[in-house]
Amino acid sequence: MMPSTIYKLHFILLVHTIVLLAVNAAPESQSLSCWLVEDIPGTETKPRSIQHTPVLIQFTDASGLTHTSPLTADPDTLILYVFDPSGKLSPDFTSCEITHHLPQETSLDWARSLTEEKRSPPSLGKTWYTVAARNEQDGRGVSFVLGPLGDKKDHFSVSLAVYSVSTIHAQLGKPLTIPCGMWRGHQPRFAVEWRHRAMGLGSLLYAYDGWKDKVEEHVPNCHLNFSALHSDGDASLLIENVDTSLEGTLLCTGYLPYLRAQREIQMVVTGKPQVTLQPSPLFARPGEEVTLTCDVSHFHPLEISVDFFVQLSGEPHPTLLSGSSLSAHTHNQDGTYSITAYQYMVASSDLNGARYICKVNHVSAPKGISASRTLKVAGVSAPSLEDIMYLFLTALVLYGTLSYLRRKAISLFGNQPDLKPQKNKSE
């Protein structure tokens, strides 16, 4: 081996060692700031109130040991030492709220089998919490149930975690997977439930008892992947065909014996509009008043803007036109909307060749959707290539017709013997 190679290898090893040491010696911040939200019942002297207490969640290992230096929080802050076997607790959550969790039996059909043993562990009598944490940047959110870890009052362990994104944009008429994961440790007794809520009305979409492996309820359009659920805790809801009735909030709930955790997912159903611009073709005489009609149909949701632009021939960019008007929207049977926009204009010879554009801005199409027509003003244009071809074709057809008529006339009135048999042959 060349000495220089050995030297290089040594150097690489040294760099690796330094990097490894650095990673181990300075773990990223291993804590998460939260608020404990408590409902304080009213007394004779004080009305009922909501109390917010600052909390610092300090991550620990299974034995309750922390790997960072002791925390220096102010004395009002409650410190909770949390062991997270789910791996879903992270210091990068931007919002975090803690509430008391009351372990209890559930009377729902799909969760009843979870507690049929009637042997509730004594730990259920201790303090339990629900932690709802979110990362506002990427929309990730997790709902945790924290249960007691060992005998120390401020040590907890994640017992259940349900995680998902917070918002979904779904395309009308397309299949969709609404992600939701459930971490449950080694607990074989579990259930999953999906609900939909919109404008105060709720409905059950799916209910599955994982312990009995039984689908208790489901609407025809929705499915779960059972193998993915049992092996990886993937409780995502698979929807065959998105329609506007899904708009609203979807609730993914995971049940363990006496425990539950839930994530809310906002659904925005988007339908891309079809845009057509009339009249087509766009011909006018100089001085003629023309109303451009832009039909925008079958879109969802309702928020939309429609603008008209004109680009004169030779101009590099279109210019926004003012004075357009919008019809009232119609609500179609499939839940989508349609609307019509109008733009009035007077044709003139200098507008010949101008391109009129109707541009629609809608959440379903980030770049917008346009339709355009080119205005032809009568009596202005020199014959274009198309016109020339049209004239040529007309001349050709005329020539063909005339020569046919001529032959017909000759065969009828003339007495040319060589034409007769030819005609018979073709019949």
- Asked if residue 371 lies in contact with residue 273, where contact means CB atoms within 8 angstroms, the answer is no
CB of 231 to ligand NAG, least distance (A): 6
| Neighbour tally for 221: CB within 10 Å | 16
Q: Quick one: 178 or 259, whose CB is closer to ligand NAG? A: 178
- Name the residue whose CB lies closest to ligand NAG: 228
The residue among 182 and 351 lying less far from ligand NAG, judged by its C-beta, is 182
Instruction: Tell me the one-letter amino acid at 397.
Output: V
Query: Helices (H), strands (E): how many in the chain?
Result: 4, 28
CB of 139: closest distance to ligand NAG in angstroms?
Answer: 23
Instruction: For residues 12 and 29, give the distance between their C-alpha atoms in angstroms, rounded to a whole number.
Output: 28
Residue for token pair 């050995």: 6
For ligand NAG, the binding residues (CB under 6 A) are: 225, 227-228, 231-232
Which is nearest to 215 in space by CA: 235, 185, 201, 187? 235
87: its two tokens: 């791996």
How many angstroms separate the CA atoms of 120 and 53, rounded?
A: 30
Token reading at 255: 């049940």
Give me the amino acid identity at 348.
S
Torsion sign, CA atoms 132, 133, 137, 140: negative
Residue 175 CB, shortest distance to ligand NAG, in Å, is: 11
3-state secondary structure of 212: coil
Give the shortest CB-333-to-ligand NAG separation in angstroms: 31
Nearer to ligand NAG, 107 or 227 (CB): 227
Cβ–Cβ < 8 Å for 189, 213: no
198/228 with CB nearer ligand NAG? 228
We find the least distance from the C-beta atom of residue 215 to ligand NAG, in angstroms, to be: 15
What six digits make up the tokens of 279?
């009249």
CB closer to ligand NAG out of 36 and 237: 237
Q: Between residues 39 and 232, which has the closer beta carbon with respect to ligand NAG? A: 232
Q: Please, are residues 155 and 65 in contact by the beta-carbon 8 Å criterion?
A: no
- CB-wise, 177 or 274, nearer to ligand NAG? 177
> CA angle 369-299-292, nearest 5°?
55
C-beta of 225: minimal distance to ligand NAG in Å? 4
Strand, coil or helix: 80 = strand
Instruction: Closer to ligand NAG by CB, 218 or 298: give it.
Output: 218
Q: Give the shortest CB-252-to-ligand NAG separation in angstroms.
A: 17
Q: What's the CA gap between 268 and 56, in Å, rounded?
A: 34
Does residue 281 have a cis bond before it (omega within 30 degrees)?
yes
The set of residues, in sequence order, having a beta carbon less than 8 Å from that of 43 and lying 6+ positions away, is: none
CB of 152 to ligand NAG, least distance (A): 38
Closer to ligand NAG by CB, 63 or 231: give it. Answer: 231
Closest distance to ligand NAG from the beta carbon of 234 (Å)? 6
